[in-house]
């Protein structure tokens, strides 16, 4: 298997099936001595990263009711 100029490789179909690597599955690259291991990313880790990135960004100027009214087009 070769890495393309875009840094891509094709994971063989039987490997994708065996490990549940469906389209849009997130994977992580884990450095190891002598190489790297590709593992399926845990959904909780991704969610946790998103929450950590967004935590503390709101300024609290609007109440929940005000925000919901805006999303419903009432404001």
Q: pLDDT by residue (tens digit) across 39-51?
A: 888 755 667 777 8
Q: What domain range includes position 18?
A: 13-71
CA–CA distances in Å: residue 12 to residues 18, 22, 51, 69: 10, 12, 34, 49
Residue 17 scores a pLDDT above 70 = yes
Count up the domains in the chain and report the number: 1
Tell me if 66 is assigned to some domain: yes
Q: Are the CB atoms for 36 and 30 separated by under 8 Å?
A: yes
Mean pLDDT across 24-39? 91
State residue 56's pLDDT score.
79
Could you tell me the pTM of the whole model? 0.48
Q: Is residue 22 part of a domain?
A: yes
CA-only gyration radius of the chain, Å: 20
């Amino acid at each position: 298997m070769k890495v393309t100029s875009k840094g891509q490789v094709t994971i063989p179909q039987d490997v994708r099936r065996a490990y549940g690597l469906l389209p849009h599955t997130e994977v992580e690259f884990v450095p190891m001595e002598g190489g790297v291991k590709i593992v399926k990313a845990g959904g909780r880790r991704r969610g946790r990263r998103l929450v950590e990135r967004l935590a503390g960004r709101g300024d609290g100027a609007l109440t929940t009711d005000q925000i919901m009214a805006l999303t419903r087009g009432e404001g």
